[in-house]
Amino acid sequence: MRFFIDTANLEEIRQAKEYGLIDGVTTNPTLLSREGGDWRDQMRAICEEVDGPVSLEVVSSNAGGMVEEAKELVKYGSNVVIKIPMLMEGMKAVRQLSEMGVKTNVTVAFSPAQALLAAKAGATYISLFIGRLDGLSQRGMDVVEQIVTIYDNYGFETEVLVASVRHPMHIIEAALAGADVATIPYRVLFQLAEHPMTDLGIKQFDEDWEKAFGERG
């Protein structure tokens, strides 16, 4: 399972990279709006910082506009993936971009029907916003499980990307469901490592060592 980091913040990206656990980055208009400054410079800097795929989102609502934006965004790096909103116009853009050899990530998706359309259009990734579904009392992971089954049934190559992650259980359940990628907020990446028994165990080892041999090196 690959981990992307869900942020447009360069400091978070640099720090997460140091742990060697991050395979790519997803951004969106909201995340970029939080960074201020020139969004083009920010996108370019992210693409330079990261070796793996970086999803950059278009903001047009018609296929022609999306494709024109994509042609500019791909200039920011060879690792750019164009994020396209889950609209019928978006499907048209995905088809054109995939025929041009441009990778796409269909975003703001919530249902197996949408995922089926994205796969048929030739999307590289489908981003399922599971945390937002959970927030509406609908189990987001059910949708992920259904999509993994549908893609397996027909051998679709579109990768299932679990997005809108809120906590570590989302990652565990996504992994159990066979999702290809989870895009993870910086805070949740660190939560994955936490366990009170780990803290207690390490504390005990440190105390025993210090009692027997003095200070640690």
Active-site residue, from 17, 83, 92, 103: 83
Q: Which of residues 84-123 bind ligand E4P (CB under 6 A)?
A: 107
Q: How far apart are CA 140 and CA 174, in angstroms?
A: 10
User: Strand (E) positions, 78-188?
Assistant: 80-85, 104-109, 125-129, 159-163, 181-184
127 near ligand E4P, rule: CB under 6 A = yes
**Nearest distance from C-beta of residue 134 to ligand E4P, angstroms:** 10
On whether the CB atoms of residues 105 and 24 are closer than 8 A, the answer is: no
Active site residue 75: no
In the numeric block, which tokens belong to residue 168? 């570590």
163 near ligand E4P, rule: CB under 6 A = yes
The CA-atom distances, in angstroms, between 177 and each of 31, 105, 144, 180 are 27, 20, 7, 9
On whether the CB atoms of residues 30 and 204 are closer than 8 A, the answer is: no
> For residues 182-210, b (16+ Cβ closer than 10 Å) or e, as one string?
bbbbbebbeeeeeeeeeeeeeeeeeeeee
124 near ligand E4P, rule: CB under 6 A = no
If binding means CB under 6 A, how many residues of this protein chain bind ligand E4P?
11
Site mask, ligand E4P, residues 29-68, x = CB under 6 A? ----------------------------------------
Site mask, ligand E4P, residues 167-186, x = CB under 6 A? ----------------x---
Torsion, CA 93, CA 5, CA 32, CA 52, rounded to 10: -60
Please select the residue that binds ligand E4P; options are 9, 26, 79, 158, rule is CB under 6 A.
26
Is the CB of 90 or the CB of 199 nearer to ligand E4P? 90
Using CB under 6 A as the criterion, which residues of the chain lie in contact with ligand E4P when the complex forms? 6, 26, 28, 107, 127, 129, 131-132, 163-164, 183
Please give the positions annotated as active site.
83
